[in-house]
Amino acid sequence: MSQRGLEGLLKPASIAVIGASTRPGRAGYLMMRNLLAGGFSGPILPVTPKYKAVCGVLAWRDIASLPLSPDLAVICTHADRNLELLNALGERGCKACIILSAPESQLDALKKCASAWQIRLLGPNSLGLLAPWQGLNASFSPVPIARGKLAFISQSAAVSNTILDWAQQRQLGFSWFIALGDSLDIDVDDLLDFLARDGKTSAILLYLEHLSDARRFVSAARSAARNKPILVIKSGRSPQAQRLLKTHAGLDAAWDAAIQRAGLLRVHDTHELFSAVETLSYMRPLRGERLMIVSNGAAPAALALDQLDARNGKLATLSDEMLATLLPAAADAGNPLDLKDDATVERYLQTVSRLMDSQEIDALLIIHAPSAVAPATETARQLIETIAQHPRARQMTLLTNWCGEFSSQEARRLFSDAGIPTYRTPEGAVTAFMHMVEYRRNQKQLRETPALPVNLTANTTDAHRLIQQALDEGANRLDTHEVQDILRAYGLNTLPTWIASDSAEAVHIAGQTGYPVALKLRSPDIPHKSDVQGVMLSLRTASEVQQAADAIIDRVRLTWPQARVHGLLVQSMANRAGAQELRMLVEQDPVFGPVILLGEGGIEWQTDRQAVVALPPLNMTLARYLVIQALKSGKIRSRSAQQPLDVTGISEVLVRVSHLIVDCPQIVRLDIHPLLAAGSEFSLLDVNMQLAAFSGEAESRLAIRPYPHALEERITLKNGERCLFRPILPEDEPLLRAFIAQVTKEDLYYRYFSEINEFTHEDLANMTQIDYDREMALVAVRPFQGADEIIGVTRAISDADNIDAEFSVLVRSDLKGLGLGRRLLEKMIDYTRQHGLNQLNGITMPGNRGMITLARKLGFAVDVQLEDGIVTLSLPLSAPAE
């Protein structure tokens, strides 16, 4: 199924209504009425044997008798007839179908039937879709909607109806409004790909309950979020809510991690959702996070301040010079700025104007409580005029909160008409501002494509051998002493650990290793050693070791008589002075695959409340985001001012764990508890690893495709020089800038079809920080003066269906004739063929004879279009070229 098939659903030229009816209340009547009322300009074809016409439109007896093949059909009959009607639509050449309802027992058969006829399905249990710019209301909603620039996709009909009703009251328009229902075929990722390219859509809002393919969703969302803001509300946060919705949505914090990683923004309740729609409708790029609050009363400003603090927002700090110009008579002038309850309209205008002059703030929240000296409507009207005339009006982010209800309605309407976001409460306004801040932060994180630090070393072969050896011996649960060598292969060090079968052996080992030591129970039946006081620390003599060992064994026999005891672990004592206990856990999420959790040690977590979560693979920047997030949210508390947590050090441990998990799919769970952090030293004191045999592609279980190490290859050029072909990395931005500087203007013109004076950071970030699932860029790198330099690049960007890809090749202008361009393009051809693409396409200019000659040699079909001044190149990939 392809994106092209979506055109029949989203931009149909003709629509058939199967089961059209003249009886009010029937689905077939509602659909006909809505299609006609929406103003759809194409043929509407009611299909029913009961009536000669429906709503004044000539009806057709059955699908076979239709005068043309409809692009879109809506099945409004009883669900029992779904399969029969879908087959008939397939025979008639229909491209897309909306199914009102279907029992669960029918879903597989419907999917197979649709696939066989290449029909795209929306639903079942879908409310339908509305596309106001096309006059299309193919929905069962009684509420029409106006044209707008916001697209809404929902997996719930009830939520869809609620949003439609709210939007009508607010006179808010949409570009698309699509209710997915059960997403049997068309899913969120399909629509994100479509809407990312839609010129009528400037922002996208998603209501989600489940995902069928996390990898495709994250990939499509990452791609779309580079162009447009996307907000998500995800229900089913608790296990109880998931049972109610009949979804297996996994760990809610994993959704947070995926949404953040894709550069989207999550809102958590319907109140936030409505605020978010308001924000999205008027949203301008936020230049920074420094917020200034102005109010005609201390109490509303205090409410705003509390909300800002709760969401880790940032107040602007004004200079003394700036404060002196604002309120010379006020000794306590600051931020928030209280204009007092006697503030006049003139005081508001003067203050706001001066604040907008300032370079010390990025956003301004204006709060107004009902006042006799500054009437709500008049104050709003004059502020709108003042703001519109200010030279920084388009650079400053403005939000307004006109408190109250009756007296403030007209003022809020004026702000909305002027394109200035307005909110009923101070908390709502700050929440909306923090939506923008969090979106900006997530967009920054979106630029961090997963890649591993280049200085990270790992002995993957050793780790694989040791894991396979354990599995062959039937060991699927390894504890600290058994995982030492596996972890060491990835630069992760545990304290030296030995096994003792009884107290006598424990005393002997302690004497050999030196005191003090720790003793720990080994039992596969007791998950938490603390349940039986199974850990004894700082034992300094032989008698202390013997007594502790005997006491642990006795307690187990008394409280867990059925538990198997596999002896004791004897471990050197780590230096705990000033150290902090952390916990790092890797678990398998049913939606997103492996997830990495980080929190404090010493306690059993309530995972969603006491740990932060990330999706592997991690690089140092992403790991640092996670640690800072844990510190800011209180999931980890920095305990010592003299010895604060080493953020860089813990980030490196996270990256090493991520690397281990990405490389070794047999690891299904890894619990490091505690991880002792003492300054820049990190010791893994207690580790539990669970293993299971794995077959298939290791990357397939990950929600985000990692850096493809397998594509690295060393080659020799015609001059005997060696260089490395590898996928591009985010860290390559300075190397890419230096490479482009050594390409002539003529060669750049052939590559980009225009004269380019300079590439911005954002341009280069988009070129280096790619989603390896949808795009591949391979660079040729050689050593030069003690560092690496890029000497050639080839790139292929696939369509959303992974059918065709557009390619390009660029070689440094002074290094032509070494066979570099040919070798790069051959490697890209091999990659795209193995990646399952059908065809590789490219465009160049007639003057680029070198590219045209190379393409012909490699089997491309070359079509010179002199009138258009272009040459198209195409290569089928189904079989190797002759």
Is residue 236 domain-shared with residue 292, that is, in the same domain?
no
Classify strands 203-208 and 146-154 as parallel, antiparallel or unpaired: parallel
What is the arithmetic mean of pLDDT over 185-214?
92
Asked if the structure places residue 456 within a domain, the reply is yes
Instruction: Specify whether the CB–CB gap between 23 and 29 falls below 8 A.
Output: yes
pLDDT confidence band for 245 (50 / 70 / 90): low
Residue 271: the pLDDT is 73
SS3 535: strand
Alpha carbon dihedral 51, 53, 56, 58, in 10-degree steps, equals 170
What's the pLDDT tens digit per position in 803-829? 899 999 999 999 999 999 999 999 999
Please say if the pLDDT value at position 501 is more than 70. Answer: yes
Single-letter residue type at 522: R
* Residue 704 domain flag: no
Q: In this predicted model, what pLDDT tens digit does every residue of 402-444 receive, in sequence order?
A: 998 888 999 999 998 898 989 999 998 998 899 888 888 887 7
728 and 817 assigned to the same domain? yes
Residues 791 and 720 grouped into a single domain: yes
Whether residues 452 and 474 fall in one domain: yes
Same domain, 296 and 428: yes
Task: Read off the amino acid at residue 157.
Answer: A
- 72 and 132 belong to one structural domain: no
pLDDT digits (tens, 9 = 90+) for 454-480: 567 789 999 999 999 999 999 999 988
> Are 477 and 461 contained in the same domain?
yes
User: Is the pLDDT score of 796 beyond 90?
Assistant: yes
Q: Tell me whether residue 234 is in a domain.
A: yes
In a domain, 700, yes or no: no
Q: Is the peptide bond before 124 cis (omega within 30 degrees of 0)?
A: yes
Using left for φ > 0, alpha for ψ between -120 and 50, and beta otherwise, residue 452 falls in: beta
Of the given ranges (270-279, 569-578, 785-794, 840-849), which has the lowest mean pLDDT? 270-279
pLDDT at 337: 93
Q: State the residue range of the domain holding 554.
A: 497-573
Average pLDDT on 127-133 reads: 94
Q: What is the CATH number of the domain that holds 587?
A: 3.30.470.20
Q: Does residue 149 or residue 452 have the better pLDDT? A: 149
Whether residue 410 sits in one domain with residue 304: yes
Residue 202 lies in a domain: yes
What local confidence, expressed as pLDDT, does residue 881 receive? 47
Q: Are residues 825 and 720 in the same domain?
A: yes
Q: Residue 298 is part of a domain; what is its CATH number?
A: 3.40.50.261
pLDDT of residue 1 exceeding 50, the answer is: no
Report whether 721 contacts 510 (CB < 8 A): no
CATH code: domain of residue 736 = 3.40.630.30
Residues paired with 518 in a beta bridge = 571
Closest CA to 574 of 649, 675, 480: 675
Highest mean pLDDT among 240-244, 327-331, 382-386, 573-577: 382-386
Asked whether residue 9 falls in the same domain as residue 89, the answer is yes
Last residue of a domain, one of 652, 668, 695: 695
Beta strands in 624-721 (DSSP E): 667-678, 681-684, 687-691, 713-716
> Domain tally for the chain?
6
Reported as a single tens digit per residue, the pLDDT across 704-746 is 989 898 899 999 999 999 999 999 988 888 999 999 999 998 8
Position 448 scores a pLDDT of 58
Return the closest-CA partner of residue 341 out of 297, 399, 303, 392. 297
The band of 573, judged by pLDDT with boundaries at 50, 70 and 90, is confident
Separation CA 776–CA 778 (nearest Å): 7
Q: Which of 71, 102, 124 is the last residue of a domain?
A: 124
Domain end among 636, 670, 695 = 695
Domain presence at residue 139: yes
Residues 344 and 436 in one domain: yes
With respect to residue 133, please indicate whether it lies within any of the assigned structural domains: yes
The angle, 0 to 180 degrees and rounded to 10, between the axes of the packed helices 426-446 and 298-310 is 30
Residue 641: pLDDT band with limits 50, 70, 90: low
Beta strands in 19-55 (DSSP E): 44-47, 53-54
Asked if pLDDT for residue 226 goes beyond 90, the answer is no
**Strand-strand pairing, 53-54 and 57-58:** antiparallel
541-547, Cβ contacts within 8 angstroms, sequence gap of 24 or more: 541/515, 542/507, 542/510, 542/511, 545/503, 545/506, 545/507, 545/510, 545/517, 545/519, 545/570, 546/503, 546/504, 546/506, 546/507
Q: Are residues 266 and 299 in the same domain?
A: no
What pLDDT does residue 626 have?
94
Q: What band does 241 get if pLDDT is binned at 50, 70 and 90? A: low
Q: Is the pLDDT of residue 323 over 90?
A: no
Mean pLDDT within 629-651: 82
pLDDT at 37 over 80: yes
H or E segment to which residue 168 belongs:
helix 157-170
- Whether 30 is covered by a domain: the verdict is yes
